[in-house]
Amino acid sequence: MEQVNLETEQTKPYERDSEHQRLARLVGVWRGTARTIMGPNVAPIEAAWEGRIAAILDGRFVRFTYRSSVEDKPIAGEMLIAFESGEKLWRTSWVDSFHTGTMILVSEGSGTDIDVRGSYFAAEGHPRWGWRTVIDDAQAEKLTIRMYNITPDGEEFLGVEITLSRAG
């Protein structure tokens, strides 16, 4: 069997609601800078970031694939972004060769902002930590993604900030 391309595969027609029209506006190539913060009182690690957001399955979802580096080591990843019309929930699934290891970080949130929360395994015998991702798409040609660690006690601190501009 040949590989299935979810960007072009023919599917049952889908009428986009306003949230899916919003997701469609994100489609394109994006470039900018990522700041990774490894802990309190540690200078951020900055690196170039480039990615592509594509609509898949006739606009039901968007897929953000990207590449960058951390400490001069290459990384790549993918975030699937969805709005579940029935439950009125934003959901993401995120995999990354540096930040998530072998885990799929699944997050969800409600409201008009794309602001989702999930949790991840920190270490054997330790409580899970929280993770919050905020996608600021208020400007058509700019996109900012902020990701926060949340301690088991609920303290939140910035872990990654990605500032992007539409390329071409």
More confident residue, 16 or 66: 66
What is the residue whose two structure tokens read 């910035």? 158
C-beta pairs of 13-22 under 8 Å, 24+ apart in sequence = 13/58, 14/57, 14/58, 14/59, 14/60, 16/59, 17/83, 17/85, 19/83, 19/85, 20/59, 20/60, 20/83, 20/85, 22/83, 22/137
Report the mean per-residue pLDDT for the chain: 93
Q: What is the mean pLDDT of residues 152-161?
A: 94
Tell me the pLDDT tens digit for each residue of 56-113. 999 999 999 999 998 889 999 999 999 999 999 999 999 999 888 888 999 999 999 9
Tell me the pLDDT tens digit for each residue of 32-49. 999 999 877 889 999 999
Q: Which of 5-9, 12-16, 99-103, 128-132 has the highest mean pLDDT?
A: 128-132
Q: Specify the pTM.
A: 0.92
Query: Quick one: pLDDT at residue 127?
Result: 95
More confident residue, 130 or 168: 130
Percent of the chain predicted with pLDDT > 90: 80
